[in-house]
A and B are shown apart, each in its own frame.
Chain A
């Protein structure tokens, strides 16, 4: 019985250890720096969308002028 409990404890411990050992960007999220990445990505997305909108407007104008 004692042996069984030991084995069981080891398995549980191993499981938790494994779950904790997976390295994620926890520190980055704690320090808040992940928002910098989001800001950069949103800026790029915004630039691309603005480009598309301008293109769309320009084409609409050409369609009217023909």
Chain B
């Protein structure tokens, strides 16, 4: 194992998250009840996704400045793990909302039409689809240098699309999700108590470190693979 202290730190933070996340006292919110603990899991997926996309964006710029192939590989793998985290965030959100957003006066099918109009869901779907197109675009170009350059430029565009789709528009519109037209979707001091934040911030760090670990493994695998091909 290479440079393992931060990997151990990430695992320890997650162990802490899993234990403290289920045992600490949480606010008694009549709508959320115990599901408020999903803050340590569902929300952390999105925070991890944003951090991984930022890393991918930085590596894309570094590729364009230096033309070193390693930055292109890194940019691609960080984006891949970011998409994985985003999909997990979407799936966990779907589970969470089907127990807390369903209107008990309507059938599940009928309450779905308000849920489908959620600006946050649509924004997150747009962001993920833009990144999915990044993968498709990359694989459609044969020439290695062209592939690297075009996908680095597209990566910068995809990152720019995160601003309206998940950071600006969802905050302007009313929504069932916390942090609609007021406040912040994830870090609102009004919705999480102080001891929840004691678990929440380490949880973000832990999940992100695991994501970075997976990305570095994939980068190293890709490098070995390309060296084999060039032999």
CA distance A18 to B22 in the complex (A): 23
- The answer to whether B190 has its CB under 8 Å from any CB of chain A is no
- Fill in one digit per residue for B1-35: 1 if any A CB lies within 8 Å of its CB, else 0: 11000010001001100110011000011100110
- The answer to whether A55 has its CB under 8 Å from any CB of chain B is yes
B224 x A23 contact (CB < 8 A):
no
* Residues of B contacting A5 in the complex (Cβ-Cβ under 8 angstroms): none
Q: Which of A14-64 contact B (CB under 8 A)?
A: 18-19, 21-25, 29, 34, 37-38, 41-42, 45, 49, 52-53, 55-57, 59-60, 62-63
* Residues of A contacting B224 in the complex (Cβ-Cβ under 8 angstroms): 59, 62-63, 66
B221 x A59 contact (CB < 8 A):
yes
User: Of B55-63, B89-97, B167-175, B212-220, which stretch is located at the interface?
Assistant: B212-220
A41 x B18 contact (CB < 8 A):
yes
B2 x A42 contact (CB < 8 A):
no
- Interface size counted on chain A using CB atoms at 8 A: 25
For the complex, would chain B's binding face be called helix, strand, loop or mixed by DSSP majority?
helix
CA distance A63 to B228 in the complex (A): 11
* Residues of B contacting A41 in the complex (Cβ-Cβ under 8 angstroms): 18, 22
- The answer to whether B142 has its CB under 8 Å from any CB of chain A is no
B18 x A42 contact (CB < 8 A):
yes
* Residues of A contacting B19 in the complex (Cβ-Cβ under 8 angstroms): 38, 42
| Closest CB in chain B relative to A57 CB, distance in Å | 6
CA distance A24 to B30 in the complex (A): 9
B34 x A24 contact (CB < 8 A):
yes
CA distance A24 to B217 in the complex (A): 41
B29 x A22 contact (CB < 8 A):
yes
Query: Of B23, B34, B214, B220, which is within 8 A of A52 by CB?
Result: B214
A22 x B14 contact (CB < 8 A):
no
CA distance A56 to B7 in the complex (A): 11
CA distance A34 to B21 in the complex (A): 11
* Residues of B contacting A25 in the complex (Cβ-Cβ under 8 angstroms): 34
B residues near A (Cβ < 8 Å) are 1-2, 7, 11, 14-15, 18-19, 22-23, 28-30, 33-34, 210, 213-214, 217, 220-221, 224, 227
| Selected A-B contacts with CB under 8 Å, 19 pairs | A21-B30, A34-B23, A37-B22, A38-B19, A38-B22, A38-B23, A41-B22, A45-B11, A49-B11, A52-B7, A52-B217, A53-B1, A56-B1, A57-B1, A59-B217, A59-B220, A59-B224, A62-B224, A66-B224
**10 closest Cβ contacts across the A-B interface?**
A22-B28, A22-B30, A41-B18, A56-B1, A59-B220, A25-B34, A62-B224, A49-B11, A38-B22, A24-B34
